[in-house]
Amino acid sequence: MNALLAANAAAAVAAIAFALVGGARPAALSESGTPSAGERFYGWMYATRGVPLGVAALVAPLAWSGPASSLILSAAAAAQVGDAAIGIATRKRTMIAGASLLTVVHAATAVATA
């Protein structure tokens, strides 16, 4: 269980880091030269969703177990499924792989803490 909690913590920290990068430097994730106003807008939208959800996924299994923790981790896993789907649509292999891995880690932790 400790290894799973550590993996979940690492996954949550990674999600937070990518959300912060998406907000601060959207071109780093979109691989465009100069971000458009739309990229900056959506980068901040991603950050405002990703940071709080990542913090919740980090803290919830460490603070308590049970349905509340499982629900938060399931929401984090669902968000990662969405990110993987965006990766598939845009053919970004690293986004597909990263989001898929985080989905598995969050979902496994949700089951273990239920």
How far apart are the C-alpha atoms of 95 and 33, rounded to whole Å? 19
**Nearest C-alpha neighbor of 111 from the set 74, 86, 62, 64:** 74
**pLDDT tens digits, 22-44:** 999 988 877 778 888 888 999 99
Contact between 105 and 57 under an 8 Å Cβ cutoff? The reply is no
Task: Give yes or no for residue 105 having a pLDDT over 90.
Answer: yes
Q: What is the pTM of this model?
A: 0.89
pLDDT of residue 28: 83
Rounded Cα–Cα distance for residues 27 and 50 (Å): 17
